[in-house]
A and B are shown apart, each in its own frame.
Chain A
Amino acid sequence: MSKLRYESPAIRKLNAGGMNKFGTRTEYEPVYPKVQFAWSYKTNYLDAVCRIFHQEGSWAEVVSGFEYEKALGNGVPGHRILFNGPEKTEAELRRAVELDSLIHIDHFDELYQLTDIAAGMGRKPRVAIRVNMDTGTYPLWDRFGFNYENGQAMEALTRIVSSGRLELIGLHCHIGTYMMSVEAYRKAIQKLGSLAVHSRDAWGIDIRYIDIGGGFPSGNQLRGAHATPTDALPSIDEYAEAITDELQRTGFAPDALPLLMLETGRALIDEAGYLLGSVLATKRLSDGRRANIMDFGVNILFTSFWYEHRISPAQPFSHHTEDVTIYGPLCMNIDMVRQHASLPLLNKGDRVVVHNVGAYNMTQWMQFIQMRPRVVLIDEQGAVHLIREAEDLAFIKLQERIPPHLADA
């Protein structure tokens, strides 16, 4: 009997434990007693993906009426939807009030609009404000929410309380994206905590939740970064430790700790996504560099604008590698996936795998020149499920209309 082919044994840490680090599951040693995740729809709003997180206990965090309806369609009750973002229409706000969602107010115009809606509907919506602040990192994300340092956040809280029409129950911040500093989260908690303590002491209002947002990095390497993510990034344990430790120092009585809300998206889904592609052609550029043209580009791999995505061949290959530029299939100069990648010599038709594409690609991708491919989900038993069909011409044309004078072309 011939023997079987051997491969070296290996293990790989999965990112599935990220949520547990904050103590969401009681069978682990919780680092904080009250934690709730809300799935960040904009990170990946394919319904099948959202439903996995909802099955795991996540609420929904949405930033548009479209995402709000998607969350409802995925079975999330209105009172478990956090409605964030600068644009919420009158109708969307009314619906959110009707369904008792948690509305995170972004600016004074919205605050006044919601106060009027509440008065008109005879309801008292449950609200939080989004607070932006200096956490010692650059750039300062001050375009969303009310600024802490200039007093606007406090002023917004004062107006909410004095209106008598809104029920202040939470404080929210989202200090940035791909945050590599644990200390920044400590500062954010300190500042939100001081607002919460003021609310209690000045108005007798117990802030019931503090939403620290997200912004934790994934295993992708930022363009221009010199260190790999493994070397440069704190672990999710360190973020959890800093956030929950600071929260418990902030002046809340042990029996009146607020619920810690997290809107983590990227750190939970990025490493679960892979893009499978093929080599369309190879060529030598004018300076002698080798280039590979792939059947995927920035149209479906939007994050290649800011990540150096890892790309690996999907069949046996030689150990000789060469520095190559990876282009996509679009007839546009912007369509470059990697300027420099070290890859074995690939030929037309060879397959490759792009790693860590689960976050912000299946939402920010573009139907541009080419159509978007199908998406499949591999379940825990290894079964493959189609969760989004490939686009076709009929789908693209569905929204188009031809004026009568052009109808007979």
Chain B
Amino acid sequence: MQLRKNIATSEDGFLFNPSTGDSWSANSMAAEWFAWLKEGRSREEIMDLITEKYEVERSRVELDWEDLMKQLQEARLLQS
């Protein structure tokens, strides 16, 4: 799962779709995930990074991953 190529992201969690003019703000956790996605890291790598850095069960992160992907899909920000 990757963000569409034309979506601009900023470190502080701002997402912008230049073809529609729509923009979104992400909370700091989502912004960090996007930065890792942008580096080309895989889902599994990102899960590892999160559970190493944060006090959280992997199962919770997996659920949140699915939920975030749904949000991105709904916002048409994901590559098809």
Known: A11-B24, A11-B26, A382-B12. A29 touches B53 (CB 8 A): no
Bits for B53-80, please: 1 = Cβ < 8 Å to A, else 0: 1111000100010011001100101000
Is A25 positioned at the interface, with any CB of B under 8 Å from its CB?
A: yes
**Which of A2, A9, A14: most chain B CB closer than 10 A?**
A9
Is B25 positioned at the interface, with any CB of A under 8 Å from its CB?
A: yes
Known: A4-B53, A16-B23. A10 touches B30 (CB 8 A): yes
Cross-chain contact B71 with A11 (CB below 8 angstroms): yes
Cross-chain contact A17 with B23 (CB below 8 angstroms): yes
The residue in chain B whose Cβ has the minimal distance to the Cβ of A237 is B20
The residue in chain B whose Cβ has the minimal distance to the Cβ of A4 is B54
Cross-chain contact B33 with A13 (CB below 8 angstroms): no
A residues at B contact (CB < 8 Å): 2-14, 16-17, 19-21, 25, 27-29, 380-382
The residue in chain A whose Cβ has the minimal distance to the Cβ of B50 is A6
**Which of B18, B19, B21, B25: most chain A CB closer than 10 A?**
B21
Partner of B15, one of A10, A11, A20, A29: A11
Cross-chain contact A20 with B29 (CB below 8 angstroms): no
Cross-chain contact B25 with A17 (CB below 8 angstroms): no
Q: Which residues of B contact A11 (CB under 8 A)?
A: 15, 24-27, 30, 68, 71-72, 75, 77
Cross-chain contact B27 with A7 (CB below 8 angstroms): yes
Across the A-B interface, the 4 shortest Cβ-Cβ residue pairs: A20-B21, A9-B30, A6-B56, A6-B54
Between A and B, 24 residue pairs with Cβ closer than 8 Å are A3-B52, A4-B55, A5-B55, A6-B50, A6-B55, A7-B29, A9-B27, A9-B68, A10-B68, A11-B26, A11-B72, A11-B75, A13-B23, A14-B23, A14-B24, A14-B25, A16-B23, A19-B21, A20-B20, A20-B21, A27-B18, A28-B18, A29-B20, A382-B12
Query: What is the CB-to-nearest-CB distance from B38 to chain A, in angstroms, rounded to a whole number?
Result: 14
Q: Which residues of A contact B14 (CB under 8 A)?
A: 380
Tell me the residues in window 28-47 of chain B with beta carbons closer than 8 Å to chain A beta carbons. Answer: 28-30, 33
Q: Which residues of B contact A6 (CB under 8 A)?
A: 29, 50, 54-56, 60
Q: Which residues of A contact B28 (CB under 8 A)?
A: 7
5 further A-B contacts with Cβ under 8 Å, apart from A10-B68, A11-B30, are: A2-B55, A6-B55, A9-B30, A14-B23, A28-B21
The residue in chain A whose Cβ has the minimal distance to the Cβ of B24 is A11
Q: Which residues of B contact A21 (CB under 8 A)?
A: 21
Partner of B25, one of A12, A20, A25, A28: A12
The residue in chain A whose Cβ has the minimal distance to the Cβ of B55 is A3
The number of chain B residues with a CB under 8 A from chain A is 31
Number of A-B contacts (CB under 8 A): 79
Q: Which residues of B contact A10 (CB under 8 A)?
A: 26-27, 29-30, 68, 71
Cross-chain contact B24 with A13 (CB below 8 angstroms): yes
In whole angstroms, what is the CA distance A39 to B64 when docked?
Answer: 40
Query: What is the CB-to-nearest-CB distance from B65 to chain A, in angstroms, rounded to a whole number?
Result: 8
Q: Which residues of A contact B77 (CB under 8 A)?
A: 11
The residue in chain A whose Cβ has the minimal distance to the Cβ of B33 is A9
Cross-chain contact B19 with A28 (CB below 8 angstroms): yes
Q: Which residues of B contact A381 (CB under 8 A)?
A: 12
Cross-chain contact B75 with A13 (CB below 8 angstroms): yes
The residue in chain A whose Cβ has the minimal distance to the Cβ of B26 is A11
Cross-chain contact A3 with B53 (CB below 8 angstroms): yes
Known: A9-B64, A10-B71. A17 touches B29 (CB 8 A): no
Q: Which residues of A contact B24 (CB under 8 A)?
A: 11-14
Q: Which residues of A contact B30 (CB under 8 A)?
A: 9-11
Cross-chain contact A8 with B25 (CB below 8 angstroms): no
Query: What is the CB-to-nearest-CB distance from B41 to chain A, in angstroms, rounded to a whole number?
Result: 15
In whole angstroms, what is the CA distance A12 to B75 when docked?
Answer: 9
In whole angstroms, what is the CA distance A12 to B23 when docked?
Answer: 9
The residue in chain B whose Cβ has the minimal distance to the Cβ of A24 is B21
**Which of A12, A19, A27: most chain B CB closer than 10 A?**
A12
In whole angstroms, what is the CA distance A381 to B12 when docked?
Answer: 8
In whole angstroms, what is the CA distance A380 to B18 when docked?
Answer: 18
Query: What is the CB-to-nearest-CB distance from A378 to chain B, in angstroms, rounded to a whole number?
Result: 12
Cross-chain contact A9 with B29 (CB below 8 angstroms): yes
In whole angstroms, what is the CA distance A380 to B10 when docked?
Answer: 11
In whole angstroms, what is the CA distance A145 to B28 when docked?
Answer: 49
In whole angstroms, what is the CA distance A3 to B55 when docked?
Answer: 5
In whole angstroms, what is the CA distance A17 to B19 when docked?
Answer: 11
